[in-house]
Amino acid sequence: MTTTSTNPGWLVAKRLLHAAMAAFGLVFCWWALTSGTGWVSSMRFPAPHETWAAWQQMLWSGYANALWHEHAWRSIRLVFMGFAISSSIGVLLGLAMGASRKVEAIANPVFLFLRPIPPLAWIPLAIVWLGLGDSAKLMVIFVAAFVPSVINSFSGVRQIERPIFEAAAMLNVSGWRMWREVLIPGALPSIFTGLRLSLQASWTTLVAAELVGAIAGLGQILNQGAQDIFPAMILVGMLSVALAGWLMTLVLGAIEVRTMPWRMA
């Protein structure tokens, strides 16, 4: 491959250009397959303009009893709450298990029992216990976010190399300082990996729970779209879910970079 220069600015521009071209190509194929040639009927998959129209409708006049941002907020709020509570407890437990073999031994059986059960499998149970409202969804999000946080915090502590502990002992670090200056920073990368996984799991689980039964939320858009046989709206729902999930991951990533300035990008 011949390059006119290896100027980094140019490389970034090229990357963007490629991405733009790819995006354009995709949209073009999409249009061609649906309304352009009529090969794929709108009953099966919406054409670009239909999707755009549905999107507009979502934003301004609403669908499934609410406007887009109301749905989005509802979902994001739930995920955020469930994720925040669950991960906090999970990280603390994981750190405790990592630091103390006794705690690990005691908590292990419960984990081994719960771990193989996928979070989605908790949905029927949650509905039995808490009904079809938000609390059931919170419960399921809690379960989904809990396990990855624990496991990753646990391994985060365990993978801190022995020499670091020995150095800390020599420098007379103990108790609270040990936690603040050694254990937590050392485990932080793993903790964040766990948080990322927890967040993803929270999202997936919420959408599934909303598909099973919800009054509002991004999953509900999907639900209603399916019931109304409105493919364009279904697509809007899917894209919204992907978008919201992607955004939340981005925010998490930004926080991650801020909290760990000593790491290379």
Partner 1 sequence: MILQEKLSPQRFWQLTSLGAICFVGLWTAAALAGLTSPQFLPTPWAVLDRFVTLWSEPFAGAVLHEHVLASMRRFFLGFGFAVLVGLPLGLLMAWFQPIDRLITPLFETIRFVAPIAWIPFAALWFGTGIGGPVLIIFMGAFPPVLINTYRGAKFVDKRYLEAASTLGASHWRNISQVLLPAALPSIVSGLRISAGLGWQSLVGAELIVASSGVGYLMVRGQASISTATVMSGMIAIGMIGLILDILIRRLQQVVEARRGL
- Does 99 engage in binding with partner 1 (CB under 8 A)? yes
Of residues 12-31, which lie at the interface with partner 1 (CB under 8 A)? 19, 22-23, 25-26
In whole angstroms, the minimum distance from the beta carbon of 150 to partner 1 comes to: 14
Query: What's the rounded Cα separation, in Å, for the pair 156 and 139?
Result: 26
- Does 106 engage in binding with partner 1 (CB under 8 A)? yes
* Residue from 82, 232, 128 nearest 224 by CA: 232
- Does 96 engage in binding with partner 1 (CB under 8 A)? no
* Residue from 196, 226, 197, 202 nearest 137 by CA: 202
DSSP assignment letter at 63: B
Quick check: 58 and 236 in contact, CB under 8 A? yes
Quick check: 5 and 13 in contact, CB under 8 A? no
- Residues 127-166: x where in contact with partner 1 by CB under 8 A, - otherwise, as a string: xxx------------------------------x-x--xx
Nearer to partner 1, 67 or 211 (CB): 211
Quick check: 153 and 91 in contact, CB under 8 A? yes
In whole angstroms, the minimum distance from the beta carbon of 72 to partner 1 comes to: 14
Estimate the crossing angle of helix 218-227 against helix 184-212, to 10 degrees: 30
- Does 94 engage in binding with partner 1 (CB under 8 A)? no
Query: What's the rounded Cα separation, in Å, for the pair 160 and 154?
Result: 11
In whole angstroms, the minimum distance from the beta carbon of 139 to partner 1 comes to: 13
Residues of the shown chain interacting with partner 1 in the complex, contacts defined by CB under 8 A: 19, 22-23, 25-26, 43-45, 99-102, 105-110, 113, 116-125, 127-129, 160, 162, 165-166, 169, 174-175, 178, 203-204, 207-208, 211-212, 222-223, 225-226, 229, 231, 234, 237-239, 241-242, 245-246
